[in-house]
Structure 1
Amino acid sequence: MADAPRKRRWPLYLAVVLALLAMAGLWVNHQLEPHRLARTVLDALGESQGLEIDFQGEPSYVLRPEPRLVLPNVVARQPGAAAPLLTAKRVEVSLPWDTVWGGDDKVVITRIQLDQPALDLAALSDWRASRPQAPFELPTLTQGVLVTSGRVVGGDWRIHALDLSFDELRPDQPLDVKAKGRFERDALSIHFEGDVSLLRAALASPFMFRATGRLQQAELDSPWTLVFAGDFDATGDYTRLEFANLSFESESPVPTLQADGSASFGETVQFKLEGTMPDWPADWPVLPEPRAAVALPVDFDVAYAGAADLSDPVSLKLARGETRLDATLVVADAQAWLANEERTPLPPMLGRFTAPSLEIEGFTLENVQADIVEPAPASEE
């Protein structure tokens, strides 16, 4: 008779177990409700990075085969900042379970996709200055990054329609990045498409750069190709580049040239180019006789040190045989001169010209030395 009460009690035990499972299921579902999950993830990320990260719209997630979170209309800003550091129409992040459970000290992400992101470099610089000094750790992205229709804002210039991608990112391993977009500054527009191959994914590495595009300004519309190899180092306050065997090809009035050089970018910009132009552009001022009839390359030396917007004068040295020009000019003035169909014979510059001899209207001048003082283009007056 003692077994009968036990048999009658098992439905009660089962009901209690089912009730507990149902409560656990409701709790898990509540915790994994898309808005709550997204808010939990973004709050943790924002706190760790000193950012306020928000979104508008309906987020979504899946857990199989691994966690994937999709967020609409994301805005990230430094607390108290007027302008956001980053906005994006859509952000998708996939993570392996090991990263979710914290099973490895290294940050491993499967894939990141950003649709219509906009990055403000001034806000980015302010945020970086607020962060504590810490060793830079590059994450691992096993299936890479995809950026579509992006925008970068940097002072008086913009990059629009930016598409960027790479298949895989592993620290200190080779990395190939593809990108295309449109650079704009005032009336200048440069369309580009190319790729950069790094020997190792790090803040310093040898690399190879290849790109093609079109340069447009007013009536100017010239195709271009740029290829060069180099080394970069972004471990300090300035990003430094050393490059060799640079080859830039275009159509007149934009020159074709080969060069070696260096550059650094930070609060100010410095660069130096030394090389040669195989041919004198047909749309440039006609060379004086007797040198015009002689096929000689033009050696050049270009140097700049000043404001990041290139508003300070550029030093320019040209040598064609024994004929030489030492001058300074402003990039914006030279661009306006190139784009002006009614341009003056000489670009706006200050300089000194020397030649062993010149022929002018039938007269030969020996040991010519002349100072050049050309005003700014009419469009700038």
Structure 2
Amino acid sequence: MHPDAPARDAGPDRPRPRRRWIALALLLAALALALVWLTRPPQVAGLVVAQLGKALDLAITAEGVSEYTWRGAPSITLREVVARRPGESVPLLRARRVHVELPWRTLRTRGAPLVVTRIELDAPEIDLPALQRWLAARPPTEPGRVFVLTDGLAVEHGVLRGEGWRVEGITLDVPRYGGDLALEGEVRGRYVGGALAADFALEGRVDRATLPTPVRLDGTVRVETATWAMPAWLTASGALHAADGGFAVRPLRLGVAARYLAHEATVPFRVGAYGPLAFADGRLAMEPATIALRPQEGVAPALMPVLRARGALGVGETLRLDLRGALADWPDTWPALPAPVGPSDAPLPFALRYAGPTDLAAPVELHLARDAATFDARFRLPAVLDWLDAGLTQSPLPPLDGRLRAPRLEVAGATLEGVEIELGDAAP
């Protein structure tokens, strides 16, 4: 080298080419490790479950084989999922499979708004009390927070458990959900509680995702016990509200066309109901309720009277009825009432009370009054319906315990004053 030639800069502030290659190699190695990690579903599933559990304040595990894909739209499938509140032993959710698809824009915007393509749940089991405790502890929804399902929700073989009751075999199909879009869907299942079971297949519509909102249900329900069954078609509508520990529909408008089936008896009838409906702790209650009952048109003989009543009703592990109203008239197919009670055109006021098993096996208390005459009775509804269906082939007297009081009564052409008659049912 010439002594006057300038020396090359070898200062420490200029990286050597060798250092650049080392840094690039480390970066490529880290990227390769990340790609290897991302190609292992258990690691991705663990990350998703951990982040989801942190966001929802839940302890979530997924023990089964997990899958995910980035092609088209990102999706992940978790199996044998269990979710519970920290510190609680009872899970609020178990599911054989949970599948979630979401668009890339949800990932890019970090879930604001939260748009999900589709959610599928196979064999989910939800414990309602545990779910309600978790919901009560959740902070209020952020104003303007939007959740949208563009391709809907599907549930197969679901179970909802409450205290002493459950809904099993749940199939739910909701094509879309979110924002101010109307929610429409179909749900099927079987309610089991105490001595009562009910299969249902309903179509529903909810106008908005935010409460309160108009809601409507139409479909079929078959209620049954060991001794009777009641297939029915119903339509219901009202405004859906959130309520402590459940929900409420205020007011509910309900129309039912049904048939009561017990042994040889078939009693077709229609019911209309109006009033606030509340659901909490596995129990439906309607109070005050306005009830209208009448036979179905074109059906003879009419074993069901025409009546209107007000009061309260509730159903859960037990059934409660407390109604007061008036019979429009005495059905022709019922045993004729003696004069002057029978021929009178005055309304026949009544009070009816029942509290007992949902199969109607407990006694019903009935009070009737017309003019100055009164009749108080205790009877079991299945036995009375069997007696009505058999006519007079069994016994001329109904199977009930009762007491009739009248200031005057005409029987077989004779006039009786200050009458008091007691009826006793010898049947158990």
Q: Which amino acid aligns with 1:263?
A: L
1:46 aligns with 2:61: no
SS of the aligned residue for 2:51 comes to helix
TM-superposed deviation, 1:216: 1.8
CA-to-partner distance for each residue in 1:294-342, whole Å, 9 max, x for gaps?
xx6221224147xx83647431224112112113211526x233xxxxx
CA-to-partner distance for each residue in 1:65-93, whole Å, 9 max, x for gaps?
11110111100011121211000001101
Q: Which amino acid aligns with 1:301?
A: R
* Closer/same/farther in 2, CA of residues 18 and 47 from structure 1, 3 Å limit: closer
* Closer/same/farther in 2, CA of residues 304 and 275 from structure 1, 3 Å limit: closer
Taking every aligned residue pair, what percent have the same amino acid on both sides?
Answer: 26
TM-superposed deviation, 1:18: 7.7
* Closer/same/farther in 2, CA of residues 128 and 324 from structure 1, 3 Å limit: same
TM-superposed deviation, 1:36: 1.0
Structure 2 residue corresponding to 1:69, chosen from 76, 80, 97? 76
Question: What is the match of residue 165 of structure 2?
Answer: 157
Q: Which amino acid aligns with 2:293?
A: M
SS of the aligned residue for 2:360 comes to helix
* Closer/same/farther in 2, CA of residues 331 and 205 from structure 1, 3 Å limit: farther
Question: What is the match of residue 246 of structure 1?
Answer: 254
Structure 2 residue corresponding to 1:258, chosen from 269, 272, 291? 272
Question: What is the match of residue 402 of structure 2?
Answer: none
Structure 2 residue corresponding to 1:301, chosen from 299, 306, 310? 310
Once the two structures are superposed, the pairs formed by residues 60-139 of structure 1 within 5 Å of their partners are 60-103=67-110, 105-135=112-142, 137=145, 139=147
Q: Is the 8 A contact 1:88 1:115 kept in 2?
A: yes
TM-superposed deviation, 1:209: 0.9
In the alignment, the residues of structure 2 paired with residue 29 and residue 135 of structure 1 have an alpha-carbon distance, to the nearest angstrom, of: 37
In the alignment, the residues of structure 1 paired with residue 238 and residue 325 of structure 2 have an alpha-carbon distance, to the nearest angstrom, of: 24
CA-to-partner distance for each residue in 1:135-182, whole Å, 9 max, x for gaps?
474511111100001000011111111000111112121110210011
Q: Which runs of 5+ in 2 are unaligned?
A: 1-16, 262-266, 329-346, 384-427
Deviates more, 1:215-224 or 1:70-79: 215-224
Q: Is the 8 A contact 1:245 1:260 kept in 2?
A: yes
Aligned residues: 341
In the alignment, the residues of structure 2 paired with residue 224 and residue 375 of structure 1 have an alpha-carbon distance, to the nearest angstrom, of: 22
Question: What is the match of residue 293 of structure 1?
Answer: none
Question: What is the match of residue 353 of structure 1?
Answer: 368
Q: Is the 8 A contact 2:234 2:257 kept in 1?
A: yes
TM-superposed deviation, 1:264: 2.1
TM-superposed deviation, 1:128: 2.1
* Closer/same/farther in 2, CA of residues 90 and 213 from structure 1, 3 Å limit: same
Q: Is the 8 A contact 2:319 2:357 kept in 1?
A: no
Superposed CA RMSD: 3.4
1:225 aligns with 2:250: no
* Closer/same/farther in 2, CA of residues 181 and 302 from structure 1, 3 Å limit: same
In the alignment, the residues of structure 1 paired with residue 192 and residue 319 of structure 2 have an alpha-carbon distance, to the nearest angstrom, of: 19
Q: Is the 8 A contact 2:244 2:280 kept in 1?
A: no
CA-to-partner distance for each residue in 1:12-67, whole Å, 9 max, x for gaps?
x9999688546523322214521111111111111111110001121111001111
* Closer/same/farther in 2, CA of residues 151 and 243 from structure 1, 3 Å limit: same
Structure 2 residue corresponding to 1:323, chosen from 345, 348, 351? 348
SS of the aligned residue for 2:88 comes to coil
Q: Which amino acid aligns with 1:370?
A: F
Q: Is the 8 A contact 1:138 1:202 kept in 2?
A: no
Greater percentage in helix: 1
Q: Which amino acid aligns with 1:326?
A: A
Question: What is the match of residue 34 of structure 1?
Answer: 41
* Closer/same/farther in 2, CA of residues 80 and 245 from structure 1, 3 Å limit: closer
In the alignment, the residues of structure 1 paired with residue 127 and residue 301 of structure 2 have an alpha-carbon distance, to the nearest angstrom, of: 38
SS of the aligned residue for 1:256 comes to strand
TM-superposed deviation, 1:246: 2.1
Q: Is the 8 A contact 1:203 1:235 kept in 2?
A: no
TM-superposed deviation, 1:271: 0.9
Question: What is the match of residue 193 of structure 2?
Answer: 185
TM-score normalised by length of structure 2: 0.70
Task: Point out the structure with max Rg over C-alpha.
Answer: 2
Q: Which amino acid aligns with 2:275?
A: G
Q: Which amino acid aligns with 1:186?
A: G
Q: Which amino acid aligns with 1:228?
A: A
